[in-house]
Structure 1
Amino acid sequence: MTLAHIGTVARLELTQRLRSVGWYILLGIFALILLAVTGLAFAVYSYTGVTGAGVYSIVVNMVLLLVVLVSPTLSGNAINGDREAATLAAVQVTAASTGDIMLGKLLAAIATGGVFLLVALPFLAVSLFGGGVRPATFAVSLLVLAAEIIIVAAVGVGLSGLIARPLFSVAATYLVVAALTIGTLIAFGLGGTALRSEVTGYSRPYDNAGNVDCERWDSYTYETPRFDRVWWALAANPFVVLADATPTAFDDSGWPVDLFGQIKYGLRSAQQSPAEYRWDECVAMGNDMTPTAEEVIDNSVPSWFVGLGIQIVIAGGLFAGAWARTRTPARMLPPGTRIA
């Protein structure tokens, strides 16, 4: 493998993309969506003192959403599309090795996903002027976003090498992405609701005059979902990985100031097992013992590295399988596969 050959393959792949008018229309639509989302985000966070942090987190999550929606179309036919057009064999008989072809295709897929990030940079810059975005939040969020772009691109290129028909490989890429984004939420919701257990609740009784009796407790039992047993299902979700890895900033009351922290708080809250519930009307207001979001996050376990590891294993396995399938001379190909 040589960098020159990898660059040549990537340049050829990108040239085909850049010739399409639809590519520029897609980028224009992407920019318009970000413009609308940024404006709405400023309106939503206008009541806070750290508008920029909230807007920045929304824009980054929107970029990730659009990348996982568009990237499968751009990378899901990288190899079998050339095979079907009878151009892959012409490249395979050159000095470019299988590794050059695979890495070149992957580099091109990453570059197309990276273009969306470049288009989003002006909107990210605007959010920075709102203040509140810490350097660590900015750096880590962009690094994780770049990692997710690479992973989705690797999944698409891998499936395009394993599946003979471009239409099926694009659909399969969407299914993998949907399993990581939507499927994990469904598994979490259904699993936690199905696994229920009884919890005891306590409250102060009322006397005949309607006054609270602060000397006694009334107890009762009820069933509650056990999301603490299935919270790990969310670990591989790209949006959860992004939020869980990004450092969280809190306001004076201990509440996260951006969407990253709010998603992280939801995940970390799900880790807490349901304890007995007490509602004490005899306690003065302001003495609430309920832990703040900051305390919940500080006393829980991060899972972003596990989720990112799962994604890397999936993407790496698919990419390695496609590498083996693309290697020449081919020992076995699906019936009807065009090679020249």
Structure 2
Amino acid sequence: MTAALTGIWTIASIELRQRVRGSAWYVLLGVFVALTLIVTIGATLALSYAPEPGSALYSIVVYFVLLLATLVTPALSGNAINGDRDAGTLATTQVTLVSTTQIVLGKFLAAWLSSLAFLVAAVPFIAYSFVLSEVPPLTVATSLGVLVIELAVVSAVGVGLSGLLRRPLFSVVVTYLVVALLSVGTLIAFGIAGTAIQSPVTATNRGIDWAQYEGDEVEYDPQTGLPRGAECTLVSTYEYNAPRFDYVWWLLAANPYVVVADAAPTAYDANDYPVDVFGWIKAGVRGVQQAPDLTPLWDECDPESWNGQGPSTRDLIENSTPSWFVGLAIHVVLGGALLVGAVGATRTPARRLSPGSRIA
């Protein structure tokens, strides 16, 4: 076990030393810090009039770090194996005592640690937003923990595809496409599928025949504003179609931004509304889980039916089904499967090799 871990760390340390040897790595970190600083200052100014600006600022900074890290990580991991193969250095590593599994896992570890460097660079901004906010420490620990796992998944996807695909440029592009599929594609698929599936809705309106209550002798109820003893005798119905997003809400479970928001515990204000972006995204996802009312009734004689008020946002979140663990499991299985595939594709001797390609 110790020898296996030593081999993995040896490969990872070599990869890391190669990354920090040039100036491009430090330039990239500098650009990352500069962009995060600009977003933090801009968000602070934009939220200065909010009742609890720090809570929203924290979630914005975390989301921006996730966005930039998922944009940078594919470039760091997408050519980890096939890049060495094209350069002719992979064969040199394969004839040593390290196994193919150690090579793949070592490159994955190096890519993961490289992506975590960007998270470490953003710690001052995260700490700044935390100091200004009333975000519970559990929310901070959960959101950052899920963020670390998501960066590991993106690193695993990049390294796995670099072992499965022969061309470095192609594997980097496919890694970006996978990240885009999870981040944006799930939203598009959710919107299209939910709109395509519709159910007929029959709405009923019951109203008062106000022609019967004209004149000064009519007495009105001061609480409802309706004539005393009024009856709703005018009934009308109309039909329309409603999208069924409750059938396809599970598509959002695979979105990494939804995973982070859904996993983070929610803080509420005095009106039971979330105080940060995490909470509002969670409320939106939990809200689309609810089936629409297919037979709504508006009764003018029943004041309770006038506003159509449903449960509070807090009740909606606490009485609905969380999905973050499903999405996280999907991501981990995806990354693990690609790493296993990369080990099989990189192992020597190769059983089958396509024309014009090399294994090492």
2:287 to 266, 269, 287: 269
Amino acid at match of 1:3: L
One-letter amino acid matched to 1:299: N
Q: Does 1:5 align with 2:7?
A: yes
Report percent identity of matched pairs.
54
Aligned twin of 2:134: 132
Q: 1:25 to 1:202 in 2, by over 3 A?
A: farther
CA contact (8 A) 1:205 1:212 kept: no
Structure 2 partner of 1:200? 202
- Does 59-68 or 80-89 show the bigger shift? 59-68
The DSSP-based 3-state class of the residue aligned with 1:41 is: helix
Which range moves more in the overlay, 7-16 or 278-287? 278-287
- 1:284 to 1:324, Cα distance in 2 relative to 1, 3 A: closer
1:301 aligns with 2:321: yes
In structure 1, give the amino acid aligned to 2:355.
P
Shift of 1:318: 0.8
**Matched-pair contact (CA < 8 Å) for 1:86–1:338:** no
Structure 1: distance between partners of 2:194 and 2:60: 27
- Decide which moves more: 297-306 or 273-282: 273-282
Report 1:181-200 matches (<5 A).
Answer: 181-200=183-202
Deviation readout 1:188-210 (Å, 9 max, x if unpaired): 00000011112233446474699
| Match 1:255 to one of 270, 273, 294 | 273
Residue of structure 1 equivalent to 2:90 = 88
Q: Partner residue of 1:312?
A: 332
8 Å Cα contact 2:299/2:306 also seen in 1? no
Aligned partner of 1:107 among 99, 106, 109: 109
In structure 2, give the amino acid aligned to 1:225: P
In 2: Cα distance, 1:183 partner to 1:123 partner: 29
Confirm or deny that 1:221 pairs with 2:239.
yes
Match of 1:243 in 2: 261
1:161/1:184 Cα in 2 relative to 1: closer, same or farther (>3 Å)? Answer: same
Q: Do the aligned partners of residues 164 and 252 (structure 1) sit closer, same or farther apart at CA in structure 2, a change above 3 Å counting? A: same
The answer to whether the 8 Å contact 2:298/2:306 transfers is no
Asked if residue 54 in structure 1 is aligned to residue 74 in structure 2, the reply is: no
> How many Å separate the matches in 2 of 1:247 and 1:286?
33
TM-score relative to the length of structure 2: 0.88
2:73 aligned partner: 71
Whole-Å separation in 2 of the counterparts to 1:251 and 1:204: 37
**Larger mean Cα displacement after TM superposition, 317-326 or 213-222:** 213-222
Structure 2 gaps, min length 5 = 215-224
CA displacement at 1:47 relative to structure 2: 3.0
SS at match of 2:47: helix
The aligned counterpart of 2:218 is: none
Deviation readout 1:27-61 (Å, 9 max, x if unpaired): 11211211121122223332333322111111111
**What amino acid sits opposite 2:203 in the alignment?**
G
The answer as to whether partners of 2:259 and 2:323 remain within 8 angstroms in 1 is yes
Change (3 A) 1:212 1:160: farther
- Rounded to whole Å, the distance in 2 between the matches of 1:100 and 1:309 is 24
CA apart distance, 1:280: 6.2
| Cα gap change, 1:191 to 1:78, in 2 (>3 Å) | same
Q: Which consecutive unaligned segments of at least 5 residues does structure 1 have?
A: none
Deviation at 1:287, TM superposition (A): 7.7
Q: Secondary structure at the match of 1:221?
A: strand
Tell me how far apart the structure 2 counterparts of residues 149 and 267 of structure 1 sit (CA, whole Å): 22
Shift of 1:220: 2.5
Taking only aligned residues, the RMSD between alpha carbons, in angstroms, comes to 2.3
Q: Distance in 1 between matches of 2:31 and 2:236?
A: 59
**Is the 1:155–1:319 Cα contact (8 Å) retained in structure 2?**
yes
Specify the alignment match of 2:303 in structure 1. 283
Q: Which amino acid aligns with 1:254?
A: D
Q: TM-score, normalised by structure 1?
A: 0.93
Deviation digits for residues 239-269 of structure 1, max 9, x if unmatched?
1111111111111111111111111111000
Deviations 1:280-300 (A, max 9, x none): 677389986322111111121
1:88-119 CA-partner distances (Å, limit 9, x unpaired): 00011111111221111011000111011011
Deviates more, 1:77-86 or 1:270-279: 270-279
Which letter does structure 1 place at the counterpart of 2:347? R
Which deviates the most, 185-194 or 210-219? 210-219
Change in CA separation of 1:294 and 1:285 when aligned onto 2, cut-off 3 Å: same
How many equivalent residue pairs?
A: 340
1:161-192 Cα shifts (integer Å, max 9, x gaps): 00011011111111111111111111100000
